């Protein structure tokens, strides 16, 4: 199984619970805002600690409350693409990409399918929403992740840019064959990109 997630978390006045066993490909957490989808991604990434449960990805235990296992984020090898691209505004695209692996050569061949070669000398403020999202995906890939977490990767994009990012995600799913856990509230996105869809309610 790519993802084995059984967790429970109390956040404010709501309870988040998920019991998921998913195979290869892209798994979609689908539901309205406030359902706890992004909180699940944060728990898988190690940015938020569940109250109980276990998280395993590709057979590796990242969190097990009963066994006292809680790997820090930097040891989980998660490639996390946030809803907002979160590029460093003071660094050009080239240096945003390098940030994932300081001191090593920039391996552009690995992310050639994203088509960002011509963006390397641009500042983040000069990028369109789709370009910024592609750079964020490239940075995540260059960190040599074991799996990808995608939080609403198509949100706030026009139709053409949504298609660009959808094609990139399909490449990651079908060619790179990275396990993907993705959040969306859009049923069309879920059907197109997901190998399986996990509904979550508010």
Give Cα separations from 127 to 20, 51, 112 (angstroms). Answer: 37, 39, 18
Q: What pLDDT is attached to residue 123?
A: 97
pLDDT tens for each residue of 134-150: 999 999 999 889 999 99
Residue 34: which pLDDT band, with cuts at 50, 70 and 90? confident
Domains of the chain by range and CATH?
3-199 (3.40.50.300)
CB contact set of 96 (below 8 Å; sequence gap of 6+): 87, 88, 124, 135, 139
pLDDT of residue 202: 66
pTM of the model: 0.94
pLDDT at 106 (0 to 100): 84
User: What are 38-78's pLDDT values in tens digits?
Assistant: 999 999 999 999 999 999 998 899 999 999 999 999 999 99
Residue 160: CB partners within 8 Å, gap ≥ 6?
130
**Mean pLDDT, residues 158-176 taken together:** 93
Q: What is the pLDDT of residues 76-131, one digit of tens each?
A: 999 999 988 899 999 999 999 998 777 778 888 889 999 999 999 999 999 999 99
**Is the Cβ–Cβ distance between 198 and 40 less than 8 Å?**
no
């Amino acid at each position: 199984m790519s993802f084995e997630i059984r967790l429970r978390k109390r956040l404010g006045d709501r309870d988040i619970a998920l019991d998921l066993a998913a195979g290869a490909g892209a798994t979609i957490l689908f539901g309205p805002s406030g359902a706890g989808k992004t909180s699940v991604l944060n728990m898988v990434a190690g940015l938020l600690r569940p109250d109980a449960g276990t998280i395993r990805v590709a057979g590796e235990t990242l969190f097990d409350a009963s066994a006292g296992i809680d790997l820090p984020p930097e040891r989980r090898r998660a490639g996390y693409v946030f809803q907002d691209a979160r590029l460093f505004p003071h660094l050009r695209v080239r240096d945003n990409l390098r940030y994932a692996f300081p001191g090593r050569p920039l391996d552009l061949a690995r992310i050639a399918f994203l088509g960002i070669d011509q963006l390397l000398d641009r500042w983040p403020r000069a990028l369109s929403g789709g370009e910024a999202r592609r750079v964020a995906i490239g940075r995540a890939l260059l960190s040599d992740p074991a799996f990808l977490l995608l939080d609403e990767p198509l949100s706030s994009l026009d139709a053409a840019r949504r298609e660009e990012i959808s094609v990139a995600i399909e490449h990651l799913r079908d060619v790179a064959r990275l396990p993907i856990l993705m959040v969306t509230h859009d049923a069309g996105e879920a059907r197109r990109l997901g190998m399986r869809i996990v509904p979550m309610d508010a």
